Chain A
């Protein structure tokens, strides 16, 4: 009964959820996490490394790994010991010209063995400064990321804003309910 097996076994009982937060640089990952932790969201500098934070929500400990989106860090995204329950993919609604790059990375990430079967939450962030048609935007992104073709992953797509807090709670609610659906229906 070593540490490594404790890490694995206690996850369920202790309601430990592991979330990997990925997405291109400057999309707002760190701001979202800090906003959820009710921390100051002014003057956040680009994440050159990574941070782990725990958000306690509805009795769950949601351990979020926020990893910098710079391309130099992308090889580093999968170096860890635990299984990932959810991948949260953050997009920037104000920089839609990067959608193709988004798909490229997203697709690569999902090929990772360690993400097999994990839930996917796609957040379209900075919706506060987006003034187009949200529904259309969501459809466009669903198509670009080919979400409908995904197998073995449950997914959800939300527009949100780290600034106003819009939909962030909903995102967490979805994670928790998915988790419960998967593991605690009984």
Chain B
């Protein structure tokens, strides 16, 4: 629809564009140049392709365009043989028109000039591009329509035409279609009688057919026959009809092989046309054969075949008397596996026996499509409208569940089509009111609740017809007072809005809107539907949505009492433990006043519930947890050991939904027996995420805080789990934990979580922990409020704020800003600005650093972080550049004194540290930091960082020199080589030691790669000093 209106808006402009392109491609102007013609053709093609959704919009200009194509071709190509490219290009233009607008339509626009026949034919028979042939054949097919004996032009002309058309009919390439048009038109000529006989007798007999193994040839012949049946007269065809029918019947009934869809489509179309001829000949036996042949195709696997069959059957129905039509309809319904009582057809049958899970979806679809076509053509008696209505009443809800998907949406769609046709084509008095009312209610349910968006929209489009055409009758039937009827119509259409239906969550909320805005319309039907099928839907999310909708519909009015509904569901659950019932009960429980129900019956209800976490769907566990949570929250339900065991069984399923429900439940679980508290911690230790995440809500945390604290520093535990535990600690602190002794004493341990840099094969998983810790501190700022805490935190945040990972650094930065006194130091910028403008971000950090008189330790932390952004191998170029350039810009405003102080601190990071010997992760980390820092410094001095004369730059030489000692870290060594080179070139006298070191590295280093780098550096030095 959107495509269509899109093209409507611009069609005039596009037509002008095409017009313009044609002047060039067709050489209508003098100033053409070969090159631009090809380019212009592409422009033309783009323009015309846009007409695809609404090709008719071409029509106002089509004749003009095509006449120009012909004129140009005659002028430039027809009598020449020089310019094949031009010939093809003009033919392509024609082909594009034919492709978008249809061969037949386009051919109708061609002028007919009988004198051109021979030359066009001649060219068409020569070796040319297929586009040229396509064009010439179509043109020829128009030329030969002239009522003038062809043989008079040239005795052999008919032969030649027949032969060339025949040749290309069989190629299966793109000109086949044109050849078929040509052949059919040729054979329709009065003087072509012999060729007609030849064509059909020679190729349309079983022997020839079996013999022909080329599918394309068959398709070509069939498409010609199909066209002939359209344009030839009964007299011309009389002698051939039986033969055609026989061949097709034989082919269809040949069980040894099934024709491909491409051929079947033609069989079906041809059969449909044949039947109309037989009707005129009053050969009803043949028609019967055709109908029974067609009926078989209604259960063909290919939708296109079914649809095409439905159309042919209804077309036949249109021309038959009403008794025969009745017969067809009966055989249609007999194809469905339902025991239908035709005698009772006058009565609406509300509960037709039909098992959606076992019916043959394909046949149902085919039959429903055919019924729809019959309705659309107004071929139905009132009785048959009733029958169709009775069927749709069931089929609108058909769904078949397979292992990984569900089938049946085509059946539901076809059912909508049937209803749509009935409501659109029949007047009030022609449809039994009961049918209108029932289908109305069904369609509303489908619009709101069908899982498939296309079906919801189809149902709603159908409702528009129903309400627009039969609304008065409908609402009178529903006892809506007449003064409200108009309002009902408008509101309903408004509510069933195209976009609202597009979102499944919104469409499930429509019933409550209907209730509110339309005086409770359909209230009972909604509740009944949700109770009997919605909440048990096969589809998990529809089940949940239904349950929510049910709760809403029950709560909305006093007609329903939540308790009664729950009681009913409990009874049903006892009989059959369908998925979804517990969830619905849980949702409804939230409507009850607290502690209003005796909880013993619930223990009984769920006493047999078991959960096998290997095999059961997670959703089964989820609804159980959900129910328990509501029971505990609303009724003060006490979980017995059986239930607790089940809970711990369920949470072994690693699903977010389970974790979320368990968290909810944990909020309300007050007294947890020792055994289960231990099990909880045991689960945490074994990596169970749900128990780690929910722990913060539970009293178990209070009792076990010491253990939890220890777990945090247990690096054997998965980082994700530890991060979850920190989240839990955070929640615990927020809820009531500020007085917890363990955590008060263990504060530093909590703060130290900011230093976790665990790396695994999944990358920097420590970042989860750092982020959780930042968040924890943020949420519990009052808890971490002592001077010591503040210092410990600030120091770390300075580092974290300079880190490489965006989500760590920005979070850290906001936390820093939220701390007392820091906020005022920082200019106000938004997160996204910080994210997208890293240079600005680093600038702010540097200003901050400059304004604060940080203690040495904090300063060091800051530069550690900064070094990562300015030089680590993990940082992307954009980050490195931002950090380095921000640094250089800030550098300009510093006093020499400050510059020296800053350099000293940075260089100190390159010196020996306590962690250098550490073989563990901290040591590795420290080494990485040093390499990053070295690279950062290298980047700076290579960008000619201006160094105050009083600064003792030798210290950099010493540090760098030391870092090359005994190192085999290639990355680090190459950086060192760069630094040494740079220093030497700055001042060869002062730094002659650099050259010496380079020489040593070039000669003696054990790694050849390093030698090579050092050697290159020496060459560079050589080169520079010569300059």
Contacts and interface: CB of A to CB of B under 8 A. Distances in A.
Contacts of B62: 185-186
Contacts of B465: 52
Interface stretch (B210-218, B379-387, B485-493): B485-493
A148 to B, nearest CB: 16
B9 A182 contact: no
Interface string B438-481: 00000000000000001001101110110011010000000000
A49 B467 CA distance: 10
B485 A152 contact: no
Given A48-B490, A83-B1, A7 B307 contact: no
B8 A186 contact: no
Contacts of A114: 1, 5
B457 A4 contact: yes
Interface residues of A, number: 41
Contacts of A80: 464, 493
Contacts of B485: 49
A86 interface: no
Contacts of B497: 79
Interface stretch (B31-39, B413-421, B575-583, B879-887): B413-421
Interface in A66-119: 68, 73, 75-76, 79-83, 113-114, 116-118
B172 to A, nearest CB: 26
Contacts of A6: 417
A50 B489 CA distance: 7
B60 A81 contact: no
B436 to A, nearest CB: 14
Interface in B404-436: 410, 413-414, 416-417, 420, 424
A153 to B, nearest CB: 10
Contacts of A184: 59
Nearest to B306: A1
A86 B12 CA distance: 18
A76 B495 CA distance: 11
A8 interface: yes
B463 to A, nearest CB: 10
A76 B493 contact: yes
Interface in A133-154: 151-152
B59 A183 contact: yes
Interface string B50-71: 0000001101101100000000
A51 interface: yes
A183 B454 CA distance: 28
Given A83-B5, A117-B8, A185 B63 contact: yes
A28 B743 CA distance: 81
B110 to A, nearest CB: 11
B303 interface: yes
B490 A76 contact: yes
A3 B468 contact: no
Contacts of B462: 3
A35 interface: no
B857 interface: no
Contacts of B413: 2-3
A43 to B, nearest CB: 14
B457 A53 contact: no
A2 B458 contact: yes
Nearest to B461: A81
A7 B580 CA distance: 37
Contacts of B6: 116
Given A48-B490, A49-B490, A51-B469, A83 B4 contact: yes
B818 interface: no
B371 to A, nearest CB: 13
B416 A68 contact: no
Contacts of B12: 151-152
Interface string B705-722: 000000000000000000
Given A52-B465, A83-B1, A186-B59, A152 B9 contact: yes
Nearest to B310: A1
B761 to A, nearest CB: 48
Interface string B163-202: 0000000000000000000000000000000000000000
B5 A113 contact: yes
A185 to B, nearest CB: 5
A7 B420 CA distance: 10
Contacts of B57: 117, 182
A76 B9 CA distance: 22
B151 interface: no
A65 interface: yes
B374 to A, nearest CB: 14
A80 B11 CA distance: 23
A113 B457 CA distance: 19
B5 A79 contact: no
Contacts of B609: none
A118 B696 CA distance: 64
Contacts of B303: 1
B498 interface: yes
A132 to B, nearest CB: 35
Contacts of B494: 75-76, 79
A116 B60 contact: no
B259 interface: no
Contact of A116 (B8, B108, B487): B8
Nearest to A183: B56
Contacts of B108: 186
A47 interface: yes
B105 interface: yes
A38 interface: no
Contact of B307 (A1, A82, A182): A1
B744 interface: no
A51 B11 contact: no
B60 A182 contact: yes
Nearest to B458: A3
Contacts of A52: 464-465, 468-469
Contacts of B4: 8, 83
A3 B57 CA distance: 24
A181 interface: yes
A79 B457 CA distance: 12
B350 interface: no
A102 B174 CA distance: 54
Contacts of A68: 486
Interface string A148-179: 00011000000000000000000000000000
Contacts of A82: 1, 461
Contact of A12 (B56, B414, B493): B56
B109 interface: yes
A83 to B, nearest CB: 6
Nearest to A179: B56
A152 B11 contact: yes
A53 B469 contact: yes
Contacts of B304: 1
A3 B420 contact: yes
A63 B410 CA distance: 27
Nearest to B11: A117
B147 to A, nearest CB: 21
Given A3-B420, A3-B462, A7-B461, A185 B60 contact: yes
A8 B490 contact: no
B104 to A, nearest CB: 9
Contact of A4 (B56, B105, B410, B461): B461
29 contacts: A1-B307, A2-B413, A3-B416, A4-B461, A14-B376, A48-B487, A49-B490, A50-B468, A52-B465, A52-B469, A54-B424, A65-B468, A73-B490, A81-B1, A81-B460, A82-B1, A83-B5, A116-B5, A116-B6, A117-B5, A117-B8, A117-B11, A152-B9, A152-B11, A182-B56, A182-B60, A183-B59, A186-B59, A186-B105
Given A79-B493, A82-B461, A186-B59, 7 more contacts: A2-B413, A48-B490, A49-B489, A52-B465, A63-B424, A79-B494, A83-B1
The 4 closest A-B pairs by CB, nearest first: A117-B8, A48-B486, A52-B468, A49-B486
Interface of A: 1-4, 6-8, 12, 14, 47-54, 63, 65, 68, 73, 75-76, 79-83, 113-114, 116-118, 151-152, 181-186
